[in-house]
Structure 1
Amino acid sequence: MTDNSIGTPEQLRDPDYFPGIAKAVPLGIQHVLAMFVSNVTPAIIISGAAGFGFGSDAGALGFPDMTYLIQMSMLFAGIATLFQTIGMGPVGARLPIVQGTSFAFIPIMIPLVAGKGVEAMPALFTGVLIGGLFHALLGTVIGKIRFALPPLVTGLVVVMIGLALVKVGIQYAAGGVPAVNSPEYGSLLNWGAAGTVIIVTLALKFFAKGMLSISAVIIGLIAGYIYALIFGMISFGGDFGIAAKVSNAATFAAPMPFKYGFEFSAAAVIGFCMMAFVSAIETVGDVSGITKGGAGREATDKEIQGATFADGFGTAIAGIFGGFPNTSFSQNVGLIAMTGVMSRHVVTVGAIFLIICGLVPKVGAIINTIPIEVLGGGVIVMFGMVVAAGVSMLSEVDWNRRNMVIFAIALSIGLGLQLEPKAVQYLPDTLRILMTSGLLPSAFIAIVLNLVLPKDLDGSPDIAGGLSGDK
């Protein structure tokens, strides 16, 4: 709902309008609350996949690395957002675009780091760096490649991202992968923590208004945290308790360039570059959504190009310091449409808040004390919403026989390889990692089939046997 006390309708539609610091601060923090959990979750997931340890009982070996990755997620989300709102030459749309760590790359990153710990980090972040530079180059041709990524392809890819992640949410809610063989895994206590998060999140999202509704996920996590405190799932004392973790974390720490070194991995570079196409198209959609929802107009070519440049360079710089790929956050697009405040300076205030949090490791240490079961409740909601967003995109597709064939083959092969990775165990390592991501083979098959199959292959599908040629 538009707040007319902030400015006139003409002012609210102007990206250059500044409503004053007293109003810009709460509006900016509102943007941060809407994306905060989603922004740090990829760092937590990748840390868990690499084996860094998790939660209040995590060992000391992985704790500093996990905290650092969370810290970089906040810092470079803020920096990348400044690229968009303030701009730097051709870089940046100069629109209220909030950047954050992308979920899209998680299915690519997990196979790269699974169980390898810190040893996997040099190749991972080198891939982020090179993939980011490639992403920036897409800004020069983004208008010319959109034809290859219609809703059929982009919707399928988004669905695959969600499907690749829902297993992670269930594992976290049940107690985490390290505990899979323990008696506590899947216990009522664990599911109670996750369920508390889900119930509170849904209640606030659908029955509350304003800030309570916008902050539903983060408030749900707080409720789950309180549950965990009540039932003794969080330890205050000991070497790995809350007090020790927070007190041992520095009050201020600057990011370290190439903290984990530099190592070229073909699988990482190819994976990040291929996913850059999807991320770039997602940003195009978000920029268009912002200008339509906030200003009632179409996005200009210059804005789309600048946003893509900012996406890529923000990702590349993050990779140098141990941050993950950044992209525009769709939930903040909806927030702009709801508030009617188009001011890019409001989002700049939110970006500064993120940067401050990213420079204070104690913030990351506090996040790292969240029990994995509590986070599981949050990510079940978030990853389910990713799938729902993909389904929403697919609703725009004309479901003729041609498009159903493309969708069926791409989904079957991609999801099948993800569920049964041993099916390609004899492929070279690079190709095996890319194929078992599920996401890349699905995207590749969908793009190729969409380009080569004749457009006039239509007709109503026969559910019982429409592919047999009877219709």
Structure 2
Amino acid sequence: MPYRPSALSVSLMLVTHYLTAFGGIISIPLILSEGLCLQHDSLTQSQLINNIFFVSGLCTILQVIFGVRLPILQGGTFALVTPAMALLSMPDWECPAWTKNASLVNTSSPVFIEVWQTRMRTLQGSIMVASILQVLVGFSGLIGFLMRFIGPLTIAPTVSLIGLSLYDSAGVKAGSHWGISAMTTVLIILFSQYLRRIPIPVPAYDKIKKLRVSKFFLFQIMPILLGIAVSWLVCYLLTIYDVLPSDPDEYGYLARTDVKGNVVSEASWFTFTYPGKWGLPTVSLAGVVGIIAGIICSMAESVGDYHACARLSGAPPPPKHAINRGIGVEGVGSLLAGAFGTGNGTTSFSENVAALGITRVGSRTVILLSGFVMILMGILGKIGAIFTTIPTPVIGGMFMIMFGVIGAAGISNLQSTDMNSSRNIFIFGFSMFSALVIPNWIMKNPTFLDTGVKEVDQVLQILLTTHMFVGGFLGFFLDNTIPGKYTAISCFMAMMKAQFLNYVPLTA
């Protein structure tokens, strides 16, 4: 008979997977809030957090039942954050100056609501249209054909630049109080790297050994959550004893825990998201093209996740039709995420794939229940509000770790490539450097792109200011045109399996 984990084991694994996804899920709406002009509207930020939890849970259930049918959790994707922020930073969508001043923002005024909802509707429509491509690629079986041309020298710069391109967001938040952000970073490093193998003894009970002492690897399972919790507590103590400044113009004010006012008390106990909550989505051609670039990157990562998940859960390698279903369902998930107003899409969570290697429990039941828990968290409005009260420098410290790990995870894709080859070194180095230089120059010289056709200018503006597109495109073009390429799809799949078997990223 197949092994069925006990109710206690299921409960523990459910909590493990939820906490593993926690950091990545809440980070996305907090980043997008700046581009949406919501940095001073904590209540709406909390609704975005609830939305992404709800949709992540719904898509997880769809993936496990109808998609690849492996114990793989779905959540927001950083691959869509970069093109989304590129769209929202265009001159036509730049936030009005008054929205950046907390004293001038009236979050209930129709003018302010229209400012951010207009941007959200454009982002929603762009994600929904771009997601249709992923649905078609998945259910038509084209993903196998595309993967023959997308190798490590394309994936490595693309994924690395997702993390590296977010350095400004991390720096701004961490810079609001470097002491608090440094403490958060040090705590997460301490828990995730130095204490990860130290178990915590906890009482346990089973029918055979009765009452016994079990080992619980607390620091390995939730280092990010522990780091945030301790730093949050320190900020609270510094706030109630007035160690931190109370003047909004003074350095360190954003480290206070009372900055967000009464957002928790104002938030509803229950909140329900639905398609069109922010109005009828609109479509931007430039936004669609930029989001498609992110979706292609997301699809390539997901294929590797499927193989790693099957290996870690003791299942046979997923057949082509299962991979096709998985990619197709992820496209449906991104379509739903756009419709429900998360400002993001969905993808498989590599962190939770790695968690299978820690727990050694590859149960679809656990992931299904994790999906239901995320739906519940998305309905409880107070939960989203609590997350928005995390002090800004604490979030900055978390970003320093998370974005650094994403950047390193991208480079780890090169482990199956011969980096003694001058060809491969050139392709990777040139792609990475160009992806840092070109977007930076275009952002400083936005009027340089002037073809006479506004729509074309917008498309070029978004593509050339999206670091991962520039790096990924150059890597793709050079790898497929310079003689000497030997990485076929089988080699790429082997590399992706090895990556997730040998590399265990930070969990929450």
Calculate the TM-score normalised by the size of structure 1. 0.84
Matches within 5 A, 1:365-404: 365-399=385-419, 400-404=421-425
Secondary structure in 2 matching 1:148: coil
What does residue 481 of structure 2 align with? 452
What does residue 208 of structure 1 align with? 196
Matches within 5 A, 1:405-416: 405-416=426-437
Structure 2 residue 409 is the aligned partner of structure 1 residue 422:
no
What does residue 217 of structure 1 align with? 224
Q: Out of 306, 310, 321, which is 2:329 matched to?
A: 310
Q: Distance in 2 between matches of 1:113 and 1:144?
A: 33
- Which residue identity does 1:191 align to in structure 2? W
User: What whole-Å deviation, never above 9, does each CA across 1:322-355 have from its counterpart, x for those lacking one?
Assistant: 0211110111111102221111111111111110
Q: Distance in 2 between matches of 1:305 and 1:211?
A: 36
- Which residue identity does 2:448 align to in structure 1? Y
Secondary structure in 2 matching 1:445: helix
| Contact residue 425 and residue 432 of structure 1 kept, 8 A | no
Shift of the alpha carbon at 1:385? 0.3
- Which residue identity does 1:219 align to in structure 2? L
Structure 2 residue 441 is the aligned partner of structure 1 residue 439:
no
Q: Distance in 1 between matches of 2:25 and 2:485?
A: 42
Calculate the TM-score normalised by the size of structure 2. 0.78
Q: What is the aligned residue count?
A: 414
Shift of the alpha carbon at 1:82? 0.5
Structure 2 residue 101 is the aligned partner of structure 1 residue 113:
no
Q: Distance in 2 between matches of 1:227 and 1:218?
A: 14
Tell me how large the CA RMSD over aligned residues is.
1.8
Secondary structure in 1 matching 2:165: helix
Are residues 424 and 51 of structure 1, via their aligned partners in 2, closer, same or farther at CA, if it must alter by over 3 Å? closer
- 21-30 vs 215-224, which deviates more? 21-30
What does residue 274 of structure 2 align with? 256
| Contact residue 138 and residue 280 of structure 1 kept, 8 A | no
Structure 2 residue 285 is the aligned partner of structure 1 residue 266:
yes
Shift of the alpha carbon at 1:222? 0.8
What does residue 123 of structure 1 align with? 122
- 255-264 vs 277-286, which deviates more? 255-264
What does residue 301 of structure 1 align with? 320
Shift of the alpha carbon at 1:161? 0.9
Q: Distance in 1 between matches of 2:300 and 2:218?
A: 30
| Contact residue 417 and residue 423 of structure 1 kept, 8 A | no
- Which residue identity does 1:208 align to in structure 2? R
Q: Distance in 1 between matches of 2:323 and 2:153?
A: 21
- Which residue identity does 1:65 align to in structure 2? T
Shift of the alpha carbon at 1:423? 4.2
What does residue 103 of structure 2 align with? none
What does residue 322 of structure 1 align with? 341
Shift of the alpha carbon at 1:212? 2.6
- Which residue identity does 1:248 align to in structure 2? E
Shift of the alpha carbon at 1:146? 0.6
| Contact residue 479 and residue 485 of structure 2 kept, 8 A | no
What are structure 2's unaligned runs of at least 5 residues? 96-114, 198-216, 240-254, 450-456, 487-508
| Contact residue 50 and residue 113 of structure 1 kept, 8 A | yes
What does residue 50 of structure 1 align with? 36
Q: Distance in 1 between matches of 2:221 and 2:35?
A: 29
Secondary structure in 2 matching 1:124: helix
What does residue 20 of structure 2 align with? 34
Q: Distance in 2 between matches of 1:120 and 1:159?
A: 27
- Which residue identity does 1:72 align to in structure 2? N
User: What whole-Å deviation, never above 9, does each CA across 1:176-219 have from its counterpart, x for those lacking one?
Assistant: xxxxxxxxxxxxxx112112211211111121342331100011
Q: Distance in 2 between matches of 1:438 and 1:208?
A: 33
User: What whole-Å deviation, never above 9, does each CA across 1:394-445 have from its counterpart, x for those lacking one?
Assistant: 2222222222222233222221123222345322122112211122122112
- Which residue identity does 1:429 align to in structure 2? Q
| Contact residue 76 and residue 346 of structure 2 kept, 8 A | yes
Q: Distance in 1 between matches of 2:414 and 2:24?
A: 23
Q: Distance in 1 between matches of 2:78 and 2:485?
A: 35
Shift of the alpha carbon at 1:456? 6.8
Q: Out of 73, 94, 99, which is 1:98 matched to?
A: 73
What does residue 78 of structure 1 align with? 57
Amino-acid identity (%)? 26
What does residue 134 of structure 1 align with? 133
Secondary structure in 2 matching 1:325: coil
| Contact residue 29 and residue 349 of structure 1 kept, 8 A | no
What are structure 1's unaligned runs of at least 5 residues? 1-9, 13-17, 176-189, 458-471
User: What whole-Å deviation, never above 9, does each CA across 1:80-103 have from its counterpart, x for those lacking one?
Assistant: 11111122xxxx111111111101
What does residue 265 of structure 2 align with? 247
Shift of the alpha carbon at 1:124? 0.6
| Contact residue 29 and residue 353 of structure 1 kept, 8 A | no
| Contact residue 43 and residue 263 of structure 2 kept, 8 A | no
| Contact residue 235 and residue 257 of structure 2 kept, 8 A | no
Matches within 5 A, 1:359-370: 359-370=379-390
Q: Distance in 2 between matches of 1:249 and 1:86?
A: 33
Shift of the alpha carbon at 1:235? 4.6
Are residues 412 and 335 of structure 1, via their aligned partners in 2, closer, same or farther at CA, if it must alter by over 3 Å? same
Q: Distance in 2 between matches of 1:235 and 1:27?
A: 31
Q: Distance in 2 between matches of 1:257 and 1:328?
A: 22
Shift of the alpha carbon at 1:39? 0.9
Are residues 235 and 194 of structure 1, via their aligned partners in 2, closer, same or farther at CA, if it must alter by over 3 Å? closer
Secondary structure in 2 matching 1:47: helix
Q: Distance in 1 between matches of 2:426 and 2:189?
A: 36
Q: Distance in 2 between matches of 1:24 and 1:312?
A: 29
Shift of the alpha carbon at 1:282? 0.4
Are residues 276 and 443 of structure 1, via their aligned partners in 2, closer, same or farther at CA, if it must alter by over 3 Å? same
- Which residue identity does 2:478 align to in structure 1? L
| Contact residue 156 and residue 394 of structure 1 kept, 8 A | no
- Which residue identity does 1:52 align to in structure 2? L
